[in-house]
Structure 1
Amino acid sequence: MEDSTEPQTLSATMRVSRLDFDIEWPPKHAAAYIIEDPAPIVIDAGDPEKRAEMTIREGLAASDYDLSDVEAVVVTHPHSDHIGQVPLLREAGATVYAPQPVLEQLDRDEDDLADGVREIGRSAGYHGEAIDREVERAQSSLRRNRKLLAPNEAVSFEHGESFTVAGREFEAIHTPGHQVHHASLVIERRGRKLLFSGDALIEPFRPGAINVGLDHGAYEAVDAFHRALDRLEGRDVDRVYPGHGPIFDDNEGVIANTRVGLESLTDATLEAVEAVGPATPREITRHRTGEARHPAQLLDTLGALGTLERRNWIRFEDRDGVRYYSVRNASP
């Protein structure tokens, strides 16, 4: 889909086209972008399904490109709905760029990951076979993502620094919370700044505070998200290209709405603790959401519980590795 609203002064030298991918889980779609230059650059790469390959091929053809014309693909974060077609682009000759911490994360030892999932999973209220399933889910995701975004076949860039791709300069902003090593990307043309926000900033909904998944760092997700918004706030951004939802111009407004969404999550989690505590994070999630159908719902809860604890509004009692949360003014 062409971004037909791109200002004429910019489109005369650079146009951004959008690729929309159908995915099976909420929000049911993901977006990638083509920076249309003589050496085109693709930002993110859809999901791994076969239909996504056709989306890329057809989107490139609509802009008069072949797959082999793509000079580079730049990855914002290593979730499968954003790196799924990296192998297709790499095999066609594109150079792959990704944040250095992402590439290091993909090289993680699977036993170390299992230890983290078991400890944090137990703290959340998983036990027995349920923990084993979460370990297998996490290890399977790591193996899949390592295959899609092969660390030894990518060029790294650092958060907080600028790097050059096909003659274009990008600024990489570290925007954790949705994913711990997420990078939002800024490019400038004729004084206008374009932000490729991935899943760090989306309109009209709040991205999930997934951060590290069920692993060490899960209880830091909401605070990390606020730090990401701090880094995006106050920037003179003219247009934002997100990984989901529509392209938008109101950077500050969407940041404010995202903060409201995070505080609403925190408030709802506190209300759930008040209602059912002392309770495990899984019990709190069920009270907050009803039947929890997606892992992101529990991860949201873990991030909110960590924030509430650091604000001294709640506390937890550790019972053989399981956390039981209650409000500060209640009896344990």
Structure 2
Amino acid sequence: MTHQTPNSPKIPIRLELPTGTGFGPVNAYLFPGPEPVLVDTGLKSEPCWSALLDGLARHNLTPADLHRVVITHPHVDHCGLANRLTAHSPADIWIADLGRPWLVNLPDRLLQRVEYYRRDLLPRWHFPPDLSRPILNQLAAVARACEAVPPERIRVFHPGDRLELGGQAWQVLHAPGHAWAQTCFYQPHSRQLLSADMLLARAPAPVLDRPGDAPHDRPALAYFLDSLAQVEQLDVDRVYPGHGPPFGDHRQVIQRQRARLEQRLSECLALVRAGHTTVPALLTRMYPGPPHLAGLWMLNGYLQLLAFRGLVREQDGRFQPV
């Protein structure tokens, strides 16, 4: 158990929850007092629910004791148990205004995404059945890992607001890239950052949703680079990420991710210029092994950023050098 004195900065307590997926465990964070607050929930599964209950119990809490549940972004590994918590807790579910439309209708939205990939995206990109099938199966599994939250149990906050967590005011930051509705929470006095999936030890993949689910004026990785620059300006001693252990030296992590992104962009462009113009051909070379969503999303992020920079163009589902 983490011991904190009344005058010490309230440190978020990490609850590591299993996902049963290739993405590894996910973190929820608990502020036991003065009013118990849970940040993120894990996905909808019995192992994850049991781990969440065990984590609360280690601090003499149950879901019924929670004052508020805060969601960083509407991805199933971060909000999949939100509806189940409403059945066991008086706590409302708090999320950014940008994420509310997802939370009230998440399973349907994710099933619509499966159909978009099946009927439009993968055929347009010339995916053969043996590569399409595992991608679609992974998408369908994601759609099963959550439940919609009743609208009357949802409360919203906005970028620039302050949330009370552990008796301190944390600033709400909008940090798109991995997800359009991604928020982080920053405590300037204790120099702590709840970074969710915006800043991890390894760069997160920019999730590829249906057209209209996020702005398309700029590619996701352009927003991600802006979010890195935003967080780089903050004075941070400790980062509490959505996956993996907490870490320091956030500027070093950001610089490393920025350099890695540019390196992978160059590798992707070199492959396109060498004649590998279809997404399946690029995917098998950039991410060898069985096809997986994170690789596809990351590759799409590279291609869209290269197109935004005027280095490639998409024509008939193929990416040609400019």
Compute the TM-score of the two structures, normalised by the length of structure 1.
0.81
8 Å Cα contact 1:71-1:166 kept in structure 2: no
Q: In structure 1, give the amino acid aligned to 2:261.
A: L
Match of 1:268 in 2: 267
User: Which ranges in structure 2 are unaligned for 5 or more consecutive residues?
Assistant: none
Change (3 A) 1:166 1:16: closer
Please give the alpha-carbon distance, in whole angstroms, between the structure 1 residues aligned to 2:58 and 2:103: 34
Please give the alpha-carbon distance, in whole angstroms, between the structure 2 residues aligned to 1:288 and 1:132: 19
8 Å Cα contact 1:292-1:298 kept in structure 2: no
Match of 2:300 in 1: 302
Q: CA offset at residue 307 of structure 1? A: 0.8
Pairwise CA RMSD of aligned residues? Answer: 3.2
Matched, 1:208 2:205: yes
Match of 1:220 in 2: 219
Q: CA offset at residue 139 of structure 1? A: 7.7
Match of 1:159 in 2: 159
Cα deviation, 1:59-91, whole Å, max 9, x if unaligned, reads: 122222232211111111112111132233322
Q: Secondary structure at the match of 1:101?
A: coil
Match of 1:40 in 2: 36
Q: CA offset at residue 98 of structure 1? A: 0.7
Q: CA offset at residue 184 of structure 1? A: 0.8
Q: In structure 2, give the amino acid aligned to 1:181.
A: A
Please give the alpha-carbon distance, in whole angstroms, between the structure 1 residues aligned to 2:58 and 2:67: 17
Match of 1:286 in 2: 284
Q: Secondary structure at the match of 2:251?
A: helix
Q: Secondary structure at the match of 2:191?
A: strand
8 Å Cα contact 1:186-1:196 kept in structure 2: yes
Q: Secondary structure at the match of 1:34?
A: strand
Cα deviation, 1:127-175, whole Å, max 9, x if unaligned, reads: 7898899789768856754x24444421011223334468643322111
Match of 1:96 in 2: 93
Please give the alpha-carbon distance, in whole angstroms, between the structure 2 residues aligned to 1:66 and 1:316: 52
Please give the alpha-carbon distance, in whole angstroms, between the structure 1 residues aligned to 2:121 and 2:6: 48
Match of 1:125 in 2: 126
Q: What does 1:1-332 align with in structure 2 at a 5 Å threshold?
A: 2=2, 12=8, 14-91=10-87, 92-106=89-103, 117=117, 118-126=119-127, 141=142, 145=146, 147-164=147-164, 168-188=168-188, 191-203=189-201, 205-210=202-207, 212-213=208-209, 215=211, 220-277=219-276, 279-317=277-315, 319=316, 323-328=317-322
Question: Please, which moves more after superposition, 297-306 or 125-134?
Answer: 125-134
Please give the alpha-carbon distance, in whole angstroms, between the structure 2 residues aligned to 1:132 and 1:284: 18
Q: Secondary structure at the match of 1:192?
A: coil
User: Which ranges in structure 1 are unaligned for 5 or more consecutive residues?
Assistant: none
The share of aligned pairs that are identical, in percent, is 25
Q: Secondary structure at the match of 1:276?
A: coil
